[in-house]
Amino acid sequence: MVEYEIIRHDQIKGLNVLANDIHMRSLHMHHDMELLLVVRGTGMINVRNKKCHVVPGDAILVNAFDTHEIICIQEGIVCLIVQVSNHFLRDYYPAIRNIIFLEESIRPFFSEEEYQRLCQDIFDLTELYVKAEPLFELSCVTRMSDILYLLIRNVPTEMLNEAEYTKRKKLNRRFNRISSYIEANYQNQIRLADIAEQEEITITHLSHIFRDHFGISFQEYIKGKRLEHALRLIGDKTMTLSDIASASGFSELKYMTRAFREAFDLTPEQFRKQWIPLKSTVRENTGEPERILTGSETLSLLKETKLSDIL
Protein backbone atom coordinates (compact mmCIF):
# COMPACT_ATOMS: atom_id res chain seq x y z
CA MET A 1 0.00 0.00 0.00
CA VAL A 2 0.88 3.67 0.02
CA GLU A 3 0.95 4.31 3.74
CA TYR A 4 -0.22 7.74 4.85
CA GLU A 5 2.14 8.65 7.69
CA ILE A 6 0.93 11.03 10.37
CA ILE A 7 3.79 13.27 11.48
CA ARG A 8 3.61 14.72 14.97
CA HIS A 9 5.01 18.10 15.91
CA ASP A 10 5.36 17.58 19.65
CA GLN A 11 8.14 20.06 20.40
CA ILE A 12 7.75 22.86 17.84
CA LYS A 13 4.65 23.69 15.82
CA GLY A 14 5.08 22.55 12.23
CA LEU A 15 8.54 20.97 12.72
CA ASN A 16 9.90 17.51 13.50
CA VAL A 17 13.55 16.41 13.47
CA LEU A 18 14.98 12.91 13.94
CA ALA A 19 17.79 10.53 13.06
CA ASN A 20 16.81 7.22 11.50
CA ASP A 21 18.68 3.98 10.78
CA ILE A 22 16.85 2.54 7.77
CA HIS A 23 17.14 -0.74 5.94
CA MET A 24 13.76 -0.47 4.26
CA ARG A 25 10.95 2.08 4.46
CA SER A 26 8.04 1.10 2.25
CA LEU A 27 6.13 3.43 -0.05
CA HIS A 28 4.48 6.21 1.94
CA MET A 29 3.46 9.85 1.86
CA HIS A 30 2.73 12.54 4.41
CA HIS A 31 1.54 16.11 4.75
CA ASP A 32 5.01 17.51 5.52
CA MET A 33 7.90 18.36 3.25
CA GLU A 34 10.85 16.14 4.15
CA LEU A 35 14.60 16.71 3.84
CA LEU A 36 16.91 13.71 4.34
CA LEU A 37 20.67 14.04 4.77
CA VAL A 38 22.56 10.73 4.52
CA VAL A 39 25.39 10.46 7.04
CA ARG A 40 26.20 6.73 6.82
CA GLY A 41 25.67 3.88 4.37
CA THR A 42 24.41 3.67 0.81
CA GLY A 43 21.01 2.89 -0.64
CA MET A 44 18.23 3.96 -2.95
CA ILE A 45 15.54 6.52 -2.22
CA ASN A 46 12.68 6.31 -4.68
CA VAL A 47 10.60 9.51 -4.97
CA ARG A 48 7.55 9.24 -7.26
CA ASN A 49 9.33 6.38 -9.03
CA LYS A 50 12.47 8.46 -9.61
CA LYS A 51 15.37 6.43 -8.22
CA CYS A 52 18.04 8.34 -6.34
CA HIS A 53 21.12 6.33 -5.35
CA VAL A 54 22.56 7.95 -2.24
CA VAL A 55 25.86 7.98 -0.37
CA PRO A 56 26.98 9.95 2.72
CA GLY A 57 26.65 13.68 2.11
CA ASP A 58 23.70 13.38 -0.28
CA ALA A 59 20.48 15.22 0.51
CA ILE A 60 17.07 14.25 -0.83
CA LEU A 61 14.08 16.61 -0.81
CA VAL A 62 10.52 15.24 -0.82
CA ASN A 63 7.47 17.47 -1.34
CA ALA A 64 4.40 17.06 0.83
CA PHE A 65 2.19 14.24 -0.49
CA ASP A 66 4.92 12.85 -2.77
CA THR A 67 5.18 9.07 -2.50
CA HIS A 68 8.63 7.82 -1.54
CA GLU A 69 10.41 4.71 -0.27
CA ILE A 70 13.89 3.68 0.87
CA ILE A 71 15.48 0.33 0.02
CA CYS A 72 18.96 -0.90 0.95
CA ILE A 73 20.27 -4.39 0.27
CA GLN A 74 23.01 -4.55 2.87
CA GLU A 75 23.95 -2.25 5.74
CA GLY A 76 21.22 0.36 5.34
CA ILE A 77 21.55 4.11 5.69
CA VAL A 78 21.53 6.50 8.62
CA CYS A 79 19.83 9.82 7.88
CA LEU A 80 19.14 13.09 9.61
CA ILE A 81 15.54 13.88 8.72
CA VAL A 82 13.81 17.26 8.86
CA GLN A 83 10.02 17.29 8.41
CA VAL A 84 8.32 20.65 8.08
CA SER A 85 4.67 21.56 7.57
CA ASN A 86 3.56 24.03 4.92
CA HIS A 87 2.07 26.00 7.81
CA PHE A 88 5.54 26.66 9.23
CA LEU A 89 6.28 30.41 9.02
CA ARG A 90 3.25 30.86 6.74
CA ASP A 91 2.32 34.11 8.48
CA TYR A 92 5.67 35.53 7.36
CA TYR A 93 5.97 33.82 3.98
CA PRO A 94 2.48 32.81 2.77
CA ALA A 95 3.79 31.46 -0.54
CA ILE A 96 5.42 28.51 1.23
CA ARG A 97 2.12 26.61 1.02
CA ASN A 98 2.15 26.73 -2.78
CA ILE A 99 5.80 25.94 -3.50
CA ILE A 100 6.65 22.65 -5.20
CA PHE A 101 10.31 21.66 -5.50
CA LEU A 102 11.05 20.16 -8.90
CA GLU A 103 14.17 18.16 -8.00
CA GLU A 104 14.73 15.44 -5.40
CA SER A 105 18.51 15.06 -5.39
CA ILE A 106 19.47 18.63 -4.59
CA ARG A 107 23.24 18.74 -4.11
CA PRO A 108 24.05 19.59 -7.76
CA PHE A 109 22.07 22.85 -7.51
CA PHE A 110 24.21 24.32 -4.72
CA SER A 111 27.63 25.87 -4.71
CA GLU A 112 30.07 24.01 -2.47
CA GLU A 113 29.93 26.79 0.10
CA GLU A 114 26.13 26.99 0.27
CA TYR A 115 25.71 23.21 0.37
CA GLN A 116 28.08 23.03 3.32
CA ARG A 117 26.03 25.76 4.99
CA LEU A 118 22.83 23.76 4.38
CA CYS A 119 24.31 20.59 5.87
CA GLN A 120 25.70 22.48 8.86
CA ASP A 121 22.24 23.96 9.45
CA ILE A 122 20.77 20.43 9.44
CA PHE A 123 23.41 19.22 11.91
CA ASP A 124 22.86 22.25 14.18
CA LEU A 125 19.06 21.97 13.97
CA THR A 126 19.17 18.28 14.90
CA GLU A 127 21.39 18.94 17.93
CA LEU A 128 19.28 21.87 19.13
CA TYR A 129 16.04 19.93 18.67
CA VAL A 130 17.29 16.84 20.51
CA LYS A 131 18.88 18.70 23.43
CA ALA A 132 15.77 20.89 23.85
CA GLU A 133 17.57 23.31 26.14
CA PRO A 134 15.96 26.61 27.25
CA LEU A 135 15.12 28.86 24.27
CA PHE A 136 15.88 26.01 21.83
CA GLU A 137 12.63 26.80 19.98
CA LEU A 138 13.98 30.17 18.83
CA SER A 139 17.28 28.67 17.71
CA CYS A 140 15.47 25.88 15.82
CA VAL A 141 13.23 28.37 14.02
CA THR A 142 16.33 30.34 13.03
CA ARG A 143 18.07 27.28 11.57
CA MET A 144 14.92 26.03 9.83
CA SER A 145 14.32 29.46 8.30
CA ASP A 146 17.83 29.42 6.85
CA ILE A 147 17.31 25.89 5.50
CA LEU A 148 14.12 26.97 3.72
CA TYR A 149 15.84 30.09 2.42
CA LEU A 150 18.69 28.03 0.94
CA LEU A 151 16.32 25.47 -0.58
CA ILE A 152 14.03 28.03 -2.20
CA ARG A 153 16.96 30.08 -3.49
CA ASN A 154 18.86 27.15 -5.02
CA VAL A 155 16.51 24.31 -5.95
CA PRO A 156 14.20 24.73 -8.98
CA THR A 157 10.62 25.34 -7.88
CA GLU A 158 7.12 25.73 -9.23
CA MET A 159 4.54 28.04 -7.65
CA LEU A 160 1.03 26.55 -7.63
CA ASN A 161 -1.93 28.88 -8.01
CA GLU A 162 -4.95 28.33 -5.75
CA ALA A 163 -6.80 26.21 -8.29
CA GLU A 164 -3.77 23.94 -8.73
CA TYR A 165 -3.30 23.70 -4.97
CA THR A 166 -6.94 22.69 -4.47
CA LYS A 167 -6.72 20.13 -7.28
CA ARG A 168 -3.59 18.64 -5.70
CA LYS A 169 -5.35 18.27 -2.34
CA LYS A 170 -8.37 16.60 -3.99
CA LEU A 171 -6.13 14.18 -5.88
CA ASN A 172 -4.30 13.26 -2.67
CA ARG A 173 -7.60 12.44 -0.95
CA ARG A 174 -8.45 10.16 -3.88
CA PHE A 175 -5.13 8.36 -3.53
CA ASN A 176 -5.78 7.80 0.16
CA ARG A 177 -8.97 5.95 -0.79
CA ILE A 178 -7.27 4.00 -3.57
CA SER A 179 -4.34 3.01 -1.35
CA SER A 180 -6.75 1.69 1.29
CA TYR A 181 -8.46 -0.49 -1.32
CA ILE A 182 -5.15 -1.80 -2.66
CA GLU A 183 -3.88 -2.57 0.84
CA ALA A 184 -6.94 -4.72 1.46
CA ASN A 185 -6.68 -6.59 -1.84
CA TYR A 186 -3.15 -6.70 -3.31
CA GLN A 187 -2.46 -10.18 -1.94
CA ASN A 188 -5.37 -11.43 -4.04
CA GLN A 189 -6.46 -10.81 -7.62
CA ILE A 190 -7.06 -7.10 -8.08
CA ARG A 191 -8.36 -5.27 -11.15
CA LEU A 192 -8.05 -1.71 -12.31
CA ALA A 193 -11.73 -1.84 -13.30
CA ASP A 194 -12.78 -2.46 -9.70
CA ILE A 195 -10.99 0.65 -8.48
CA ALA A 196 -12.27 2.76 -11.37
CA GLU A 197 -15.82 1.72 -10.54
CA GLN A 198 -15.28 2.60 -6.87
CA GLU A 199 -13.98 6.06 -7.82
CA GLU A 200 -16.66 6.56 -10.49
CA ILE A 201 -14.12 7.31 -13.21
CA THR A 202 -13.11 5.52 -16.39
CA ILE A 203 -10.34 2.92 -16.53
CA THR A 204 -8.45 5.19 -18.94
CA HIS A 205 -8.65 8.13 -16.54
CA LEU A 206 -7.44 6.00 -13.64
CA SER A 207 -4.56 4.64 -15.73
CA HIS A 208 -3.46 8.21 -16.47
CA ILE A 209 -3.65 9.07 -12.77
CA PHE A 210 -1.28 6.21 -11.94
CA ARG A 211 1.13 7.20 -14.68
CA ASP A 212 1.08 10.88 -13.70
CA HIS A 213 1.38 10.34 -9.94
CA PHE A 214 3.69 7.32 -9.73
CA GLY A 215 5.32 7.27 -13.15
CA ILE A 216 4.36 3.58 -13.59
CA SER A 217 1.40 1.53 -14.75
CA PHE A 218 -1.23 0.06 -12.43
CA GLN A 219 0.17 -3.47 -12.89
CA GLU A 220 3.71 -2.28 -12.14
CA TYR A 221 2.37 -0.57 -9.04
CA ILE A 222 0.66 -3.76 -7.80
CA LYS A 223 3.82 -5.74 -8.50
CA GLY A 224 5.73 -3.21 -6.39
CA LYS A 225 3.28 -3.67 -3.51
CA ARG A 226 3.76 -7.44 -3.66
CA LEU A 227 7.53 -7.01 -3.81
CA GLU A 228 7.38 -4.79 -0.70
CA HIS A 229 5.53 -7.52 1.14
CA ALA A 230 8.05 -10.11 0.01
CA LEU A 231 10.89 -7.91 1.29
CA ARG A 232 9.30 -7.88 4.73
CA LEU A 233 9.29 -11.69 4.75
CA ILE A 234 12.56 -12.47 2.99
CA GLY A 235 14.56 -12.55 6.24
CA ASP A 236 12.25 -15.16 7.78
CA LYS A 237 14.19 -18.39 7.22
CA THR A 238 11.22 -20.47 8.42
CA MET A 239 9.39 -19.59 5.18
CA THR A 240 10.26 -21.06 1.80
CA LEU A 241 10.51 -18.72 -1.16
CA SER A 242 7.32 -20.26 -2.56
CA ASP A 243 5.56 -19.50 0.74
CA ILE A 244 6.74 -15.90 0.55
CA ALA A 245 5.58 -15.57 -3.06
CA SER A 246 2.12 -16.90 -2.19
CA ALA A 247 1.79 -14.75 0.95
CA SER A 248 2.77 -11.66 -1.05
CA GLY A 249 0.19 -12.12 -3.80
CA PHE A 250 2.38 -13.59 -6.56
CA SER A 251 0.54 -16.43 -8.28
CA GLU A 252 3.82 -18.31 -8.84
CA LEU A 253 7.40 -18.13 -7.56
CA LYS A 254 8.66 -17.31 -11.07
CA TYR A 255 6.78 -14.00 -11.02
CA MET A 256 8.35 -13.01 -7.70
CA THR A 257 11.75 -14.01 -9.07
CA ARG A 258 11.17 -11.77 -12.08
CA ALA A 259 10.22 -8.87 -9.79
CA PHE A 260 13.42 -9.31 -7.72
CA ARG A 261 15.57 -9.46 -10.86
CA GLU A 262 14.01 -6.28 -12.22
CA ALA A 263 14.39 -4.40 -8.93
CA PHE A 264 17.78 -5.67 -7.66
CA ASP A 265 19.33 -7.74 -10.47
CA LEU A 266 19.26 -10.62 -7.97
CA THR A 267 17.10 -13.70 -7.50
CA PRO A 268 15.15 -13.93 -4.22
CA GLU A 269 17.62 -16.60 -3.04
CA GLN A 270 20.61 -14.35 -3.81
CA PHE A 271 18.89 -11.39 -2.15
CA ARG A 272 18.13 -13.47 0.98
CA LYS A 273 21.83 -14.36 1.33
CA GLN A 274 22.78 -10.66 1.26
CA TRP A 275 19.94 -9.48 3.51
CA ILE A 276 21.35 -8.08 6.77
CA PRO A 277 18.38 -7.26 9.02
CA LEU A 278 18.68 -4.58 11.67
CA LYS A 279 19.07 -5.86 15.22
CA SER A 280 16.19 -3.68 16.32
CA THR A 281 13.08 -2.46 14.58
CA VAL A 282 11.02 0.14 16.35
CA ARG A 283 8.55 1.74 13.97
CA GLU A 284 5.45 0.97 15.93
CA ASN A 285 2.87 -1.39 14.42
CA THR A 286 4.48 -1.73 10.99
CA GLY A 287 7.33 -4.22 11.34
CA GLU A 288 9.42 -2.11 9.02
CA PRO A 289 13.19 -2.65 9.31
CA GLU A 290 14.13 0.79 10.54
CA ARG A 291 15.14 2.23 13.86
CA ILE A 292 14.60 5.77 15.06
CA LEU A 293 17.65 6.72 17.09
CA THR A 294 17.22 7.81 20.68
CA GLY A 295 18.27 11.29 21.74
CA SER A 296 21.58 10.08 23.21
CA GLU A 297 22.30 7.99 20.10
CA THR A 298 21.57 10.96 17.87
CA LEU A 299 23.93 13.22 19.82
CA SER A 300 26.64 10.54 19.68
CA LEU A 301 26.12 10.26 15.92
CA LEU A 302 26.55 14.01 15.49
CA LYS A 303 29.66 14.00 17.68
CA GLU A 304 31.23 11.12 15.77
CA THR A 305 30.40 12.47 12.30
CA LYS A 306 32.50 15.28 10.91
CA LEU A 307 30.79 17.22 8.18
CA SER A 308 34.07 17.41 6.26
CA ASP A 309 34.24 13.60 6.17
CA ILE A 310 30.91 13.18 4.35
CA LEU A 311 31.26 16.18 2.04
State pLDDT tens for residues 265-304: 889 998 888 765 544 333 333 444 678 999 999 999 999 9
Range with lowest mean pLDDT among 50-59, 191-200, 278-287: 278-287
Determine the residue type at 297: E
**Which residue, 20, 109, 4, 6, is CA-closest to 72?**
20
| pLDDT reported for residue 283 | 39
Band the pLDDT of 217: cuts 50, 70, 90. Answer: confident
Residue 101 has a pLDDT of: 95
Q: Which of 159, 195, 197 is nearest to 175 (CA)?
A: 195
What confidence score (pLDDT) does residue 34 get? 97
25 pLDDT above the threshold of 60: yes
| Domains defined along the chain, listed by start | 3-159+281-310 (2.60.120.10), 162-274 (1.10.10.60)
Phi and psi (nearest 5°) for 232? -70, -30
What is the average pLDDT score of the chain? 86
pLDDT digits (tens, 9 = 90+) for 102-160: 999 999 999 999 999 999 999 999 999 999 999 999 999 999 999 999 999 999 999 88
Q: Tell me the C-alpha to C-alpha distance, in Å, between residue 139 and each of 43, 79, 121, 276, 285.
A: 32, 21, 11, 39, 33
pLDDT at residue 130, as a whole number: 97
What are the pLDDT digits (tens) for 68-108? 888 876 678 999 999 999 889 888 998 888 899 999 999 99
pLDDT, position 74 = 64
Q: How far apart are CA 228 and CA 114, in angstroms?
A: 37
pLDDT at 37 over 50: yes
Q: Which residue has the higher pLDDT, 4 or 270?
A: 270
